[in-house]
Chains A and B, each alone.
Chain A
Amino acid sequence: DIQLTQSPSFLSASVGDRVTITCRASQGISSYLAWYQQKPRKAPKLLIYAASTLQSGVPSRFSGSGSGTEFTLTISSLQPEDFATYYCQQLNSYPVTFGPGTKVDIK
């Protein structure tokens, strides 16, 4: 199975900050990566797929980049509704796997 790691695991930030989360894969997965946002006791929400394609309806302050084994999710200006946990997911092969998550908290 492909293992995903995320860094940092926890991030404290303020409204308006630029935030970057990194996801690393245990082997090359080209651009086959998605990002999800999850708030407490809520379902995950798809943000980005194919490493950099923004899902319809997701604000443009979210962006994704990377290929191979290293990927980033960037929030250009953090908003109050963005405080949540973010997961990456590899689309390369089954079983699809997720990173352990990055919790973004209010500073």
Chain B
Amino acid sequence: EVQLVESGGGLIQPGGSLRLSCAASGFTVSSNFMSWFRQAPGKGLEWVSLISSGPSTYYADSVKGRFAISRDNSKNTLYLQMNSLRAEDTAVYYCARVKYYYDSSIRRDYFDYWGQGTLVTVSS
């Protein structure tokens, strides 16, 4: 059974750093594309970052230069290192497995399994 479990959220002051973890089971993180999303209180879903099965990483403009996605293959775990945190980063953060198909030679991504989320609150 595929399962994703996030951890590492909490209350952090503006300018601080936090590392989120996403422990996977039922599949191998290193063989899959993985992504992070967030959802601010009472708001919709926002894509944050993606890591390919190779070394490629991608970020939303709102977090580029501040956040870093990575994985530890030996622990089958995905991470999101968040630096220089701002109040507007307050949200529930979800990890998700990426599924894709090719159409017109372009990869089309959707997200088939999600974790339960971890809350990050940036406040003084």
Contacts and interface: CB of A to CB of B under 8 A. Distances in A.
Given A87-B45, A95-B47, A101-B44, A43 B114 contact: yes
A30 B103 contact: yes
B111 interface: yes
A67 to B, nearest CB: 12
Nearest to B45: A98
**Chain A contact residues: over half helix, strand or loop, or mixed?**
loop
A46 B44 contact: no
**Chain B contact residues: over half helix, strand or loop, or mixed?**
strand
Contact of A99 (B44, B109, B110): B44
Contact of A94 (B58, B111, B114): B58
Nearest to A30: B103
Given A46-B112, A98-B45, A98-B46, 16 more contacts: A34-B110, A42-B116, A43-B117, A44-B45, A44-B94, A46-B110, A50-B101, A87-B45, A89-B45, A89-B110, A89-B111, A91-B109, A92-B108, A96-B109, A98-B47, A100-B44
Interface of B: 44-47, 50, 58, 60-61, 94, 99, 101, 103, 108-117
